[in-house]
Amino acid sequence: MMLNNSIPDPRRETKNKLHPLKSIIFITLCSTLCGYDDWVSIEDFAQEQQEWFKRHIDLPHGIPSHDTLSDVIGRLNKVTFSQALSDWMTDSLPELKDKHIAIDGKTTGGIPPKQKLALIA
């Protein structure tokens, strides 16, 4: 995933910086795409899917806590993140360039927790 190369990490370099920014962004994006919309459920989902995540990202200290996910994502520059996400999607899916994609949030938001979307396989 090349998404975070243009996204500066808002955290200071300290011994408490345990999780790579790339991993935090990837967990958040995958969880959100699967219908999880609060930090506790995102962490729970990531814990349940930890083996899958380990195959795709660096998790030197396991899954970040919901507090870490919330704090780091909340401190990202929204304009920079939005542009990086748009650029990444355009690069990853060139056949969709200049096309409008509608996503029905009511449909994904209305799925009961036990029936969340199975986008992780």
pLDDT in tens, the chain (121 residues): 556 567 899 999 998 899 999 999 999 999 998 999 999 999 999 999 999 999 999 999 999 999 999 999 999 999 998 888 888 878 877 887 777 776 665 555 555 555 555 555 4
64 in any annotated domain: yes
Instruction: Give the number of other Cβ atoms within 10 Å of residue 54's Cβ.
Output: 12
41 in any annotated domain: yes
Q: Is 60 helix (H, G, I), strand (E, B) or coil?
A: strand
98 in any annotated domain: yes
82 in any annotated domain: yes
Please report the pLDDT score of residue 16 as a whole number: 87
8 in any annotated domain: no
Please report the pLDDT score of residue 67 as a whole number: 97
Q: What is the pTM of this model?
A: 0.76
CA angle, 67 then 69 then 96, to 5°: 155
Please report the pLDDT score of residue 103 as a whole number: 63
Total domain count for the chain? 1
Residue 119: both structure tokens together: 């986008």
Please report the pLDDT score of residue 62 as a whole number: 97
120 in any annotated domain: no
